[in-house]
Amino acid sequence: MDTLIEIPKYNLNEDEEKKEILRHYRALLRALKTKLKPGDKELIRTAFEMAADAHKTMRRKSGEPYILHPLAVAMICVEEIGLGVRSTICALLHDTVEDTDISLEDVQREFGVEIAKIVDGLTKISTVLDTNTTQQAENFKKILLTLTDDPRVILIKLADRLHNMRTMDSMKREKQLKISSETVYVYAPLAHRMGLYNIKTEMEDLAMKYMEPDSFRYIAQKLHDTKRERTRYINDFIRPIKEKLDQGHFDFEIYGRPKSIHSIWNKMKKKGVGFEEVYDLFAVRVILNSPQEKEKEDCWKVYSMITDEYTPAPERLRDWLSNPKNNGYEALHTTVMGPQGKWVEVQIRTKRMNDIAEKGLAAHWKYKEGTNDENRFDQWFQQIREVLVNQDTNSIDFLQDFKVSFLAEEIYVYTPKGDVKMLPIGASALDFAFAVHTGVGVKCIGAKVNHKLVPIGHKLRSGDQVEIITSAKQKPNSEWLNFVVTTKAKAKIKDSLKEEKRTIAEEGKYTLQRKLDGLGAPMSYSNMEEIAGFYKLSSPLDLLYDISTKKIDLKELKDFTVSGDKIFAPRVVKTIEEKQENDTSAKNFTKKDSELIIFGESSDKIMYTLANCCKPIPGDDVFGFVTQGEGLKIHRTNCPNATRLLSNYGHRVVKTKWVKNKEISFLTGIKIIGLDDVGVINKITNLISGELKININALTIEARDGLFEGNIKVYVHDKDELEDLVNNIKKLPGIESVDRYDTE
CA distance 292 to 352: 8
Q: In what order do the strands lie in the sheet with 666-675?
A: 695-704, 707-716, 666-675, 735-741
User: Distance between CA 436 and CA 417 in Å, rounded?
Assistant: 12
344, 280 Cβ separation under 8 angstroms: yes
**Helical spans, DSSP H, in 226-284:** 227-247, 261-271
Q: Any catalytic annotation for residue 98?
A: yes
CA distance 129 to 137: 9
**Three-state DSSP class for residue 454:** strand
C-alpha 179/C-alpha 209 separation (Å) is: 12
Closest by Cα among 202, 44, 171 to 111: 44
Q: How far is CA 206 from CA 71, 161, 399, 527, in A?
A: 21, 11, 23, 49
The amino acid present at 524, given as its one-letter code, is S
Task: State which amino acid sits at residue 647.
Answer: S
Name the active-site residue from 98, 130, 386, 677. Answer: 98
Eight-state DSSP code of residue 694? -
Q: Kindly report the number of other CB atoms within 10 A of residue 504's CB atom.
A: 13
Distances from the Cα of 73 to the Cα of 45, 62, 81, 168, 204, angstroms: 16, 16, 11, 14, 18
**Catalytic pick among 17, 64, 99, 530:** 99
Inter-residue contact 436 to 415 (CB < 8 Å): yes
Q: Which of 88, 90, 82 is nearest to 121 (CA)?
A: 90
457, 429 Cβ separation under 8 angstroms? yes
Cβ(265)–Cβ(248) below 8 Å: no
Q: Where are the beta strands (DSSP E) in 75-152?
A: none
**CA dist., res. 435 & res. 422, Å (int):** 9
Hey, which residues are catalytic here?
A: 98-99
